[in-house]
């Protein structure tokens, strides 16, 4: 028997429409690529999203079309999120840190019709220009006066909005319609696209707003250092307006000093980002001997937050929330806020809990399994591959049946590629990774891709690329080579790699060995290698 | 194009399962009908809900079956909410204030299979006994030792749970499945059932938790004086555990002194109920010259909160949230919390805003229309019938096609029967009512029902029942009679009425007039009458 209740589709644009009315004083502060600070309320953003939707419609953007963005965190990027999804198209955020090859691949795979980019990325596009689809419309996210001097055929973002009505007749969409697309690195091969729906996005925003209500409340001022071009800035562009928190968008300057100044000037209460970014900020805090005023909470995720960092913040009165998630989870899966009872535990125990990766959000299910797929107990000891389930988890990858097939287990759960234990209180501890990837400053590097390139070099007999701990980037790639006679130079391998991967993805160092350790089944044992080189001192790791 | 996200049905039992793990210290404190205070955590409640589901299954309760409750606010009632909905049955809350006739009607209309009741209501059931369906199973919500001495054939609630496993294999249900049923008075005729779904209930809980996050956060202690047997205690049994707030359940004693003592002993931070209840508490606060310790917020709704009450609370440091809603809205529609900007307005302006009925919750749409159904502006002046739309609004009434048909307008909105204006900031002001009902202490009285009975008396030529303001009950019924010769006695009319309505629904007074004012179309003008008797001093209105 069904209930007798209305069914209105959950819809992304409703979040902004609500925020515009419910939180009249809240909005977005942006450090612009133009150099100045820009402010707009959610009501203004909603009106401009309406104009933008009209502008995009005039370019021919229709339901289901992909519109790409290549941009820093700023108000125009925020407007694009809402206008594109609101009109029924799909907002495809591109990570500017991808290699040219990867970028071209995803633009082609997504079949983007329009690409909107921050002018700082003009050189990237000029570099790609001859390989870009001929009918791809390029929109520079700036005004007429600041349009870059470029041989490319560019439209101007502000021109698109100019003169358009602020009211847009947002269509009523099936709540399962695609709304946003974000590619994530696979262990090997091409990036894979997570295709979010209106339903998944709205439910994610709601659950984040509930579980992290302390950071996301009316009057809060939240700094997403985590990029809008990667993992949806952890859902903040949706959860913050819903909850009435303002967003402080840092633009391109993410060094410690710039962040400190921005946080202080804008009275940021909660800042969200990967450990690498907070290292820089902590350095600046140490230098000035104080926190930015009003700074009360930091949300750290994307890589394990080192305990020393957690203690550094906590000791100075900044609450640390250690979170875990992944693109395929919209992305937040767990949060590390302590319950009232835990907050009265001795400091050591609290820090131990905060060093773990937190507890599940409402609506997210976690299970760990052994190699045969049997469930393991949540006893804090058993460790196995982590699987997840819920409305905010992908059911596969966009236009990629093969990867989709592999992603989901027989019970319908998504395999995260993380190895974890879960304690009786529900705290997750990420122990290891089954996926052969290295996470540097919050971004992925594929070991296997690098290995495949290196193997093609005549002086390389066999090789492996492994993650080595790095104080700043969390992990960096180390290339372990068995030479075929004379040892190769790292420089010559770099040269070959640069044709396929981005510069920051190159191995930091190379070591030559006589043979690689093997597993029982004769594969290279990355586990043994990682242990062997756990203390390896990378050249720039100070 | 659809997104590629998992679709897990939104499910009520997931709220309690989540709370049990996420908020280990939070739970339910209940003043028991047995007289003592009972405490259980959400984890304990979840385990007992599992046992209860087993017990109900053994009684033969299956998917879609209706299980009724007739109970005060307490932990067993809370457990029934979750066990019944969780197993796929429908939790039908019965208002003990209904007349015998109405109660029998709704038990029959709902086709209840089981009825669970607090032992204080044993006399009510004994009174109804001979008219109750023969196969209705009666469960006394107590333990074996406290079973009432009654000629009725009664099962014992604790016996049902005894020995049952705590794990129950909660079925995966379509999220639109019916989960709860609550009857509400119509203008005339029988009560009508609002049939809530899992989806509507979970979305309501989430949106209440977000919009009222200040009151519903981890560590908060919330007192629902608003009954679980009416309007789902404003959704608190769902929103509080989701957000990690504890519930303090007052049982049957709702006088000012009892509430004060309970609030103080249990450190209640936020208390929710109708104005009538807060009058009693305010009296007690005045007597003792202070607030219960820890009392920080009061949520008032169900009837208009008088400005003097709002000011009384606010002046003593208790924040007032004036909310509006109705059974058919799950029930919360608006909340009266001020945004940051409004909180710095002069006190007078703040109090004026708080006297209004608040702004819409996320997901709730409001419109006001004129008699022809045209939309009126939200300018704070235009006033018209209020219509609502959203996932938490009914699309009709249970097994009542006629009432369902009338409830929804051509655009698919639900007509509230309230007349309101909406100001440019979104604040609702309830001006009047198109429905011919009187709201006394949060409960409805049908004018038309009383009129129909009175009209049957030979000494009544014509008559009208109208709401007259009452300092305690907000409104009470006044009977205005045009006698057919000799005037009737109120007592003889009361006698006739008592056969159909509850005692508290009887008119407080009667006045005789020579004729009733008529509208242009020749109907009795209740509006004119209400104005005429606005200052009428009811006998017990001190
Ligand atoms: N804050 C309020 N001010 C005035 N009337 C209210 C308020 N809240 C609820 N009501 C009335 O109560 C009705 C809902 O009653 P119920 O379904 O019993 O909750 C609404 O349609 C209004 O007429």
Chain B residue nearest residue A360, CA to CA: B22
Stretch B301-307: mean pLDDT: 92
B414/A8 Cβ within 8 A: no
Per-residue model confidence (pLDDT) at position B35: 82
Provide φ and ψ at A116, rounded to 5°.
-105, 130
Q: Do domains B364-433 and B438-541 have the same CATH topology?
A: no
Is residue B177 within 8 A of residue B197, CB to CB? The reply is yes
Which atom of ligand 1 lies nearest, measured to the CA of B322?
1
Per-residue model confidence (pLDDT) at position A526: 85
| Number of other residues whose CB lies within 10 A of the CB of residue B356 | 24
Stretch B375-393: mean pLDDT: 97
Provide φ and ψ at A268, rounded to 5°.
-70, 130
| Residue B189 in this model has a pLDDT that exceeds 80 | no
Per-residue model confidence (pLDDT) at position A540: 77
Q: Give me ligand 1 centre to Cα B508, in Å.
A: 22
Instruction: Name the residue among B18, B393, B425 with its Cβ closest to that of A5.
Output: B393
Per-residue model confidence (pLDDT) at position B259: 97
Which atom of ligand 1 lies nearest, measured to the CA of B231?
19
pLDDT digits (tens, 9 = 90+) for A157-177: 999 999 999 999 999 999 999
- Distance, C-alpha A82 to centroid of its chain: 18
Cα separation, A63 vs A164, in Å, equals 20
**DSSP assignment of B284-296, as one string?**
HHHHHTSPPTT--
Whole-number mean pLDDT of chain A? 94
B213/A359 Cβ within 8 A: no
| Residue B237 in this model has a pLDDT that exceeds 60 | yes
Where helices occur in A266-345 by DSSP H, the ranges are 275-288, 307-315
| Number of other residues whose CB lies within 10 A of the CB of residue B284 | 18
Residues of A in contact with B217 (CB under 8 A): 213-214
Going by pLDDT thresholds of 50, 70 and 90, the confidence category of residue A519 is: confident
Range in A83-87, A347-351, A515-519, B503-507 the model is least confident about: A515-519
Stretch B447-471: mean pLDDT: 91
CA-closest candidate to residue A170, choices A238, A86, A89: A86
CATH superfamily, with its number, for domain B438-541? ANL, C-terminal domain (3.30.300.30)
Stretch B437-447: mean pLDDT: 88
- CATH number listed for the domain at residues A364-433: 2.30.38.10
Per-residue model confidence (pLDDT) at position B371: 87
Active site residue A439: yes
3-state secondary structure of A339: coil
Q: Which two tokens stand for residue A145?
A: 């006066």
pLDDT digits (tens, 9 = 90+) for B249-267: 999 999 999 999 999 999 9
pLDDT digits (tens, 9 = 90+) for A99-140: 899 999 999 999 999 999 999 999 999 999 999 999 999 999
Per-residue model confidence (pLDDT) at position B539: 85
Q: Which two tokens stand for residue B221?
A: 């202690």
| Number of other residues whose CB lies within 10 A of the CB of residue A373 | 14
A430 Cβ contact list (under 8 Å, min separation 6):
A304, A324, A357, A386, A418, A419, A420
Going by pLDDT thresholds of 50, 70 and 90, the confidence category of residue A491 is: very high
pLDDT digits (tens, 9 = 90+) for A203-260: 999 999 999 998 999 899 999 999 999 889 999 999 999 999 999 999 999 999 999 9
* Residue to substitute in B415, B430, B432 for testing ligand 1 pocket (most ligand atoms within 8 angstroms of CB): B430
Is residue A89 within 8 A of residue A66, CB to CB? The reply is yes
Per-residue model confidence (pLDDT) at position A500: 85
Per-residue model confidence (pLDDT) at position A446: 85
| Residue B520 in this model has a pLDDT that exceeds 90 | no
Cα separation, B326 vs B184, in Å, equals 9
> ipTM of the predicted structure?
0.93
| Number of other residues whose CB lies within 10 A of the CB of residue B114 | 24
Residue nearest to atom 15 of ligand 1 (CA): B326
Going by pLDDT thresholds of 50, 70 and 90, the confidence category of residue B542 is: low
Provide φ and ψ at B185, rounded to 5°.
-70, 140
Continuous segment of H or E residues that includes residue A428: strand A428-433
A178/B1 Cβ within 8 A: yes
Cα separation, B204 vs B234, in Å, equals 10
**Residues of B acting as catalytic residues:** 184, 328, 439, 444
Per-residue model confidence (pLDDT) at position A542: 52
Per-residue model confidence (pLDDT) at position B541: 65
Going by pLDDT thresholds of 50, 70 and 90, the confidence category of residue B222 is: very high
A206/B207 Cβ within 8 A: yes
Pocket residues: Cβ below 6 A from ligand 1: B 184, 231, 301-304, 322, 324, 326-327, 331, 357, 416-418, 430, 433, 439, 444
Q: Which H, E and C letters describe A505-538, residue by residue?
A: HCCCEEEECCCCCECCCCCECHHHHHHHCCCCCC
The structural domains of chain A, with segments of one domain joined by +, span: 13-24+37-198, 364-433, 438-541
Stretch B365-386: mean pLDDT: 95
Is residue B258 within 8 A of residue B334, CB to CB? The reply is no
The CA distances from residue A510 to A276, A455, A484, B429, in Å, are: 23, 14, 15, 72
CA-closest candidate to residue B537, choices B502, B503, B505, B509: B509
CA-closest candidate to residue A112, choices A392, A394, A398: A398
Provide φ and ψ at B82, rounded to 5°.
-80, -45
| Residue A318 in this model has a pLDDT that exceeds 80 | yes
| Residue A188 in this model has a pLDDT that exceeds 80 | no
The CATH class for the domain spanning A13-24+37-198 reads alpha beta
| Residue A90 in this model has a pLDDT that exceeds 80 | yes
Residues of A in contact with B112 (CB under 8 A): none
Provide φ and ψ at A464, rounded to 5°.
-150, 145
| Residue A269 in this model has a pLDDT that exceeds 70 | yes
% chain B with pLDDT above 90: 86
A179/B6 Cβ within 8 A: no
B362/A395 Cβ within 8 A: no
pLDDT digits (tens, 9 = 90+) for A423-434: 999 999 998 887
% chain A with pLDDT above 90: 83
Residue nearest to atom 12 of ligand 1 (CA): B302
E-strand stretches of B60-148: 66-70, 90-93, 114-117, 137-140
Q: Choosing among B2, B5, B113, which should be mutated to test the A contact, i.e. which has the most A CBs within 10 A?
A: B5
3-state secondary structure of A260: helix
């Amino acid at each position: 028997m069904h209930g007798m209740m209305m069914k209105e589709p959950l819809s992304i644009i409703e979040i902004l429409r609500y925020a515009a009315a419910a939180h009249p004083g809240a909005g977005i502060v942006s450090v612009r690529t133009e150099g100045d600070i820009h402010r707009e309320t959610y009501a203004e953003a909603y009106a401009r999203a309406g104009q933008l939707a009209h502008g995009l419609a005039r370019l021919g953007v229709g339901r289901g079309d992909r519109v790409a963005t290549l941009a820093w965190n700023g108000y125009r990027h925020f407007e694009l999120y809402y206008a594109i999804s609101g009109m029924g198209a799909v907002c495809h955020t591109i990570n500017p840190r991808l290699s040219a090859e990867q970028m071209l691949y995803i633009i082609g795979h997504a079949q983007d019709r329009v690409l909107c980019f921050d002018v700082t990325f003009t050189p990237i596009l000029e570099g790609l220009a001859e390989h870009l689809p001929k009918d791809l419309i390029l929109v520079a996210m700036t005004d007429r006066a600041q349009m870059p001097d470029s041989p490319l055929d560019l439209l101007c973002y502000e021109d698109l909005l100019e003169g358009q009505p602020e009211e847009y007749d947002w269509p009523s969409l099936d709540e399962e319609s695609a709304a946003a697309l974000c590619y994530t690195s696979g262990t090997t091969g091409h990036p894979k696209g997570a295709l979010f729906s209106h339903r998944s996005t709205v439910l994610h925003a709601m659950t984040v707003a509930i579980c992290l209500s302390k950071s996301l409340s009316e009057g809060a001022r939240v700094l997403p250092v985590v990029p809008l071009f990667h993992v949806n800035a952890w859902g903040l562009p949706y959860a913050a307006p819903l909850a009435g928190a303002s967003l402080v968008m840092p633009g391109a300057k993410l060094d410690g000093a710039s962040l400190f100044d921005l946080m202080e000037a804008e009275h940021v209460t909660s800042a969200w980002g990967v450990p690498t970014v907070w290292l820089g900020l902590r350095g600046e805090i140490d230098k000035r001997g104080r926190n930015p005023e009003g700074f009360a909470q930091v949300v750290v995720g994307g890589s394990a937050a080192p305990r020393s960092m957690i203690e550094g913040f906590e000791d100075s009165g900044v609450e640390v929330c250690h979170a875990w998630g992944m693109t395929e989870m919209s992305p937040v899966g767990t949060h590390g806020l302590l319950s009232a009872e835990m907050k009265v535990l001795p400091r050591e125990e609290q820090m131990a809990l905060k060093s773990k990766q937190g507890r599940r959000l409402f609506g997210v299910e976690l299970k760990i399994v052994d190699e045969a797929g049997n469930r393991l107990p949540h006893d804090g000891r058993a460790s196995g591959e982590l699987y997840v389930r819920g409305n905010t988890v992908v059911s596969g990858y966009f236009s990629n049946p093969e990867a989709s097939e592999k992603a989901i287990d027989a019970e319908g759960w998504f395999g995260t590629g993380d190895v974890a234990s879960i304690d009786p209180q529900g705290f997750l501890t990420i122990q290891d990774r089954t996926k052969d990837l290295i996470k540097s400053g919050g971004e992925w590097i594929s070991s296997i891709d690098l290995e495949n390139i290196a193997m093609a070099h005549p002086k390389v007999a066999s090789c492996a690329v492994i993650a080595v701990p790095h104080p700043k980037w969390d992990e960096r790639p180390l290339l372990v080579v068995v030479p075929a006679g004379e040892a190769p130079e790292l420089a010559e391998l770099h040269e070959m790699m640069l044709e396929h991967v981005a510069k920051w993805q190159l191995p930091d160092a190379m070591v030559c060995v006589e043979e690689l350790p093997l597993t029982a089944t004769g594969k290279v044992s990355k586990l043994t290698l990682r242990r062997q080189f756990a203390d390896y001192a990378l050249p720039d790791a100070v």
